[in-house]
Amino acid sequence: MSPAHTHPRLGQVPGARARSRRAASLAPEQKAEVQRVGAGSIEELSINTIRTLSIDAVQQADSGHPGTPMALAPLVYTLWQDFLRFDPEDPIWPNRDRFVLSNGHASMVLYSMLYLTGVKAVNAEYERPGEPAVTLEDIKRFREIGSKCPGHPEYRLTTGVETTTGPLGQGCATSVGMAIAGDWLAKHFNRPRFTMFDYSVYTVCGDGDMMEGVASEAASLAGHLMLGNLCWIYDSNRVTIEGHTDITFSEDVATRFLAYGWNVLRVGDANDTERIAQAIERFRRTNDVPTLIIVESHIGYGSPHKHDTSAAHGEPLGEEEVRLAKRSYGWPEDAKFLVPDGVREHFRAGIGRRGAKLRKAWASMSESYRAKYPDLAEELEQMQRRELPDGWDADLPSFPADAKGLATRDSSAKVLNAIAPHYPWLVGGSADLAPSTKTRLTFEQAGDFEADTYGGRNFHFGIREHAMGAILNGLALCKLRPYGSTFLTFSDYMKPPMRLSALMQLPVTFIFSHDSIGLGQDGPTHQPVEQLIALRSIPGLVTLRPADANEVVEAWRTIVRRARQPSCLVLSRQALPTFDRKRYASAKGVARGAYVMADAEHGKPEVILIGTGSEVAICAEAYEVLLRDGVAARLVSMPSWELFEQQSQAYRDSVLPPEVTARVSVEAGSVIGWDRYVGDGGAKIGMHTFGSSAPLKDLLHKFGFTLQDVLDAAMKQIERTRQKA
């Protein structure tokens, strides 16, 4: 690394006299316990309790990562005990500081803190605290079924875990979303003498996080936005699973972050709690840029044979090494899961007392705030409960029949701008493609979120799709209702955070336009083929591909009502006809995933045509021809597989009667999975190769998406079933 004096914003934390700590008053028997364990102070006793709980849990599970908790215990202790604005009795109060463990393999350091500080669990609605979030029994059952201590931290499973982490870099990028949310909330809700939001976001990350591109994308945006409430604490232990990082990682991280516009500090020893405290204090005095604190640590600290080795990273120490490590801490070598008297009391007197005081003061202020600003207070409460504001759908449009129609990206823009004025915490933007995805909020007062205008509702993520997805998760975790957009083919860049969004049950809306070969001459690099089936493969994610403007309205209505589930809205670039809903069934059927748009006489079809999105129009043309020719056909629009699968078997059979086996699916994407709806013998018109660069009409002919192709497939299906009869 370059020397500190060469960097104008790189501060080497100066050596200073040890500051006095507020030690808890211990009863005589508790002091005896401290003496028995051999710790020099209650601080050392507490730190070593974190270390040994982590060691014992990993050893008992015979699986996990003990080395990083052993190294980071002093850092996490100092942050939680002396700085974190967090009340263990009410771990979800809105203005709490957020703690994110991005290097989630170190999960036991977090579980140890949740247990030792007495964090209370919240109910299923994530609203009210009750039983302990983590018990000692949970720690003893680390990585076992039913334990609140899984291998990597999971939001909703374990209270006190602010976001699910595991894939490296995701926690870092998500924390940027949390910091953005903090600034937006402050601008929207704070008033003179009423500071409703001023929380900080602390993210502990490691060498792996620094290598992942998503963290770099997010750090770049955080620096641009000058997020002074964001602090990343980089555990630089220089060890990964394959060995020392010098085999892959030799860049000057400090210089990189200075180039991003961050304030950079360094602590030379992770065991030096005084310098750690000074660095955090300096962050708290820095309001105009985010802060990176580089902390030099030793993975597996205290383990005589695995100190500074990759062996401490991804496997238990082993029974003999556990004893030796405990000996180095002055700990009873054969004691397991020991929590000495006085440790939990010490945390109650520190973070517990401070957090309760801060939370109660905030709650008291909230009462006065409600009296003076009742409308804003109501918004805040609705937002926290993930409720919809009254009248959010008052101005939803209805589109008249139109043979020429609109691109669904255009009708979506109209719907989005009809909803947003009535939904104050609906915010979002694009990865530099808002003019193409049509996701800009254009109503008066919408504004742009930038470093000098944190209250704007249009976000600009830059060409950073991966970071955008994770930032959206961070916004949703702070109870905003976010959306982000790009082209469907670039959803590949976003799959990791989308997967985590589904895992966390977050109401994030991912808007993807340019949904097929219909985008034309940009060619196969931009024409999605396999993306729809990839999205549908993510458990808990709802994907909707509407067929016309009125289906877009109902798709948005469906999405907004889902308070604990992410959704994808997949939209066309090309214009699609708006169906005459006097001729065809109401678009309200979108809410059920699939519905009969038009049917054979007496509802007894001989063949069923199933389409999604832009291909429903082709199916409708074919239906009309078959009807004129006296063929009993049924037209089905299926905008969402997931919603359709949630319906009763009776409803699904009413749309796709089992006795009607002559079926044709039409979708300009991979045909994988369509067997579920057309059967083994059904026809699947779709993409079997990548696309091509050509005008749309030429592409439709080349890849078989014409009226004649659908008619031919339908007649072959009818002939097949007649022969079997």
CA dist., res. 454 & res. 470, Å (int): 19
Is 381 assigned a catalytic role? no
Rounded to whole angstroms, the maximal C-alpha distance in the chain is 96
For the beta carbon of residue 26, count every other beta carbon within 10 angstroms: 18
Q: What does the H/E/C string look like for 627-667?
A: HHCCCCEEEEECCCHHHHHCCCHHHHHHHCCCCCCCEEEEE
Q: Which residue has the tokens 């926290």?
A: 384
Q: Specify which residues 512 forms β-bridges with.
A: 486, 570
Beta strands 633-637 and 595-598, pairing class: antiparallel
Q: What are residue 423's phi and psi, to 5 degrees?
A: -135, 80
The per-residue DSSP string of 130-158 comes to EEESS-HHHHHTTTSTT-S--SS--TTTS
Closest to 119 (Cα-Cα) out of 149, 153, 161, 164: 161
CA dist., res. 90 & res. 431, Å (int): 36
Asked if residues 97 and 202 have their Cβ atoms less than 8 Å apart, the reply is: yes
Q: Which residue has the tokens 């991003």?
A: 260
Three-state secondary-structure class, residue 624: helix
Give the up-direction half-sphere exposure of residue 535: CA atoms within 13 A in the CB hemisphere. 31
CA dist., res. 478 & res. 427, Å (int): 12
Q: Which residue has the tokens 């997931």?
A: 642
CA dist., res. 543 & res. 504, Å (int): 17
For the beta carbon of residue 191, count every other beta carbon within 10 angstroms: 11
**Catalytic member of 33, 43, 217, 465:** 465
CA dist., res. 171 & res. 178, Å (int): 10
H runs (alpha helix) in 348-373? 353-372
Give me the active site residues, please. Answer: 465
